A and B are shown apart, each in its own frame.
Chain A
Amino acid sequence: MTHVSVAVPCRLQINGQGYAADLPPSVTLLDLLRERLGLIGTKKGCDHGQCGACTVLVDGKRVKSCLILAVSIPDAAVMTIEGISQNGRLHPMQQAFIDTDAFQCGYCTPGQIMSAIALLEEGHIHSRAEIREFMSGNLCRCGAYNGIIDAIERIVAQQRGNHAGEAA
């Protein structure tokens, strides 16, 4: 049996820009980004929540966009990899990934970076073991794990340096 799907209004802020359209409810946030908005930086590695390649921030929190219906997060602020560099300047996490060779094929990379940015915000950064545990929702088949942890630790150290500077 097939059912009629009535288009539903979808209203979002994507990387700071307003988006509004009527969408079939079966469109996921991931497919909206990739197929309807051309934001291909967010990757699809499984489409079932199992790999983390599709990680984006919704209202500042990291989530897997493949398991979210685009119409189900009205007025949410969505941040993707395309939104984190400003005026062509890389986000420090992006630069750290390059510096530590934290990727090979690059396919898991946008998801790792978005996850890492959220991780810093969450503060699960007290040890390499803790960073590893809280990055484990992002698989990397190329096995760039060491580099990713190095990149995150670099930013943590930078931030600590900055805070120390502020405190002084």
Chain B
Amino acid sequence: MRSFSYSRPSALDEACQGAESVRFLAGGTNLIDLMKSDVERPAHVVDIKSLPMRDITDRPDGGLRLGALVTNADTAAHPLVTGRYPLLASAILAGASPQIRNMATNGGNLNQRTRCHYFYDPAMACNKRSPGTGCAARGGRNRIMAVLGTSDACIATFPSDMCIALAALNATVNLHGPQGERTVSVRDYHRLPGDTPWRDNVLQPGEIVTAIDLPPAPFGPHHTYLKIRDRQSFAFAIVSVAVGLQMEDGRIRRGSIALGGVGTKPWCVPEAEALLNGQPPSHSLFRDVAERLLHGAVADRDNAAKIRLAPRVIERALWQAAVGTPQSQTDKAIR
């Protein structure tokens, strides 16, 4: 890790001074890791942990506001979250390890970077790390890389579990920056790599995530977070699916679904979700939804298995949600 200067402001505006060479430090589980790997080289680190964004509060619409600095562990254990958003709690618990979840914050989780091996290795060509150098992952060992939303410039997977649930829940991100406040839907927060893979999301220099708002989620027991990975715990997703279904008289009134592990961002396809509306659960329906979600998937050297696996995981997750038997993150038998 290279030398840097450090400050710990206690007021929001003090923190949001905005410069390319500044990084916010929250839990540090991603930033410090990347600084040690010489991927992130900030000149100045602004420790934001003294800022006031540490609560989970009720919203007038029956939703919830998650402060950006609340830890992943506290979020997953919060009674309002486990009570109203068990899908979110489940997705958080499917990620990382207890120690990391005790450190990691909601704002940090949203802004975590890819686990692409080539991104992590400064000797390798990587457009995300060093714009214009190329993409060593293409044609390389890329079984963990994305199959959806990729570009010639980058095929890196967005690795979060929590954000997949946030996308399925249609959450909104609250930002505060030098230009003031704005909100962005989680679904629009992360960017496709296109020609500019170095920009993971829409955050502008100096802009900070202050909170994540959750709208009411009328799913009852009809939700699930199903994560398939290389070992039973403490591994990033190969494929994951977050689903919430609003059921009415045995029919799906409205369905929401997001994929993790396969996309360059949390993967949502509104047309696929629309297929669910008003339909009774059925194999053919779920197959169609899966097919639509995977539409346009491209494999590179090692990751074709994701394209084979994803539809099956999607269908299973849809059934889990439809039947109301969400996946347990402790009992490893897949329901």
Contact = CB atoms under 8 A, between A and B. Distances in A.
Nearest to A65: B99
Interface string B35-49: 111000001110101
Interface in A88-136: 115, 118-119, 122, 124, 127, 129-130, 132-134, 136
B99 A26 contact: no
Contacts of A25: 4-6, 45
B28 interface: yes
Interface in B199-241: 232-234
B215 to A, nearest CB: 30
B329 interface: yes
B53 interface: no
Contact of A49 (B1, B100, B233, B330): B100
A8 interface: yes
A2 B100 contact: no
B103 A72 contact: no
B203 to A, nearest CB: 21
Interface string B8-42: 10000000000000000101110011011100000
Given A3-B2, A4-B3, A26-B3, A133 B99 contact: no
A28 interface: yes
A67 interface: yes
B103 A63 contact: yes
A69 B96 contact: no
A72 B102 contact: no
B102 A49 contact: no
B253 to A, nearest CB: 33
B332 interface: yes
Nearest to B6: A25
A140 to B, nearest CB: 12
B233 to A, nearest CB: 4
A61 B45 CA distance: 24
B30 to A, nearest CB: 9
Interface residues of B, number: 36
Given A48-B33, A62-B98, A129-B331, A26 B49 contact: no
A53 B281 CA distance: 46
A68 B4 contact: no
B2 A133 contact: no
A134 B98 CA distance: 6
B57 interface: no
Contact of A5 (B5, B27, B28, B233): B5
Contacts of A24: 3
Given A63-B102, A136-B97, A69 B5 contact: no
Contact of B6 (A2, A8, A138): A8
Contact of B49 (A49, A72, A129, A138): A72
A25 B233 CA distance: 32
A136 B32 contact: no
B5 A52 contact: no
Contacts of B45: 25
Contact of A67 (B5, B32, B47): B32
Given A25-B45, A127-B330, A136-B234, A72 B100 contact: no
Given A3-B43, A47-B36, A49-B100, A133 B329 contact: yes
B17 to A, nearest CB: 16
Residue with the greatest number of chain B CB neighbours at <10 A, chosen from A47, A52, A67? A67
Contacts of B36: 47-48
B2 A28 contact: no
Contacts of A55: 99
A64 B33 CA distance: 11
A136 B5 contact: no
A71 interface: yes
Contacts of B330: 127, 129-130, 133
A164 interface: no
A64 B3 contact: no
Contacts of A136: 97, 232-234
B4 A3 contact: yes
Interface in A1-58: 1-6, 8, 24-26, 28, 47-49, 52, 55
A4 to B, nearest CB: 6
Contacts of B28: 67-69, 72
3 closest A-B pairs by CB: A137-B97, A136-B233, A5-B3
Given A52-B97, A133-B330, 15 more contacts: A8-B6, A26-B3, A26-B4, A55-B99, A64-B103, A67-B103, A68-B32, A69-B6, A72-B6, A115-B99, A119-B98, A130-B330, A136-B97, A136-B234, A137-B99
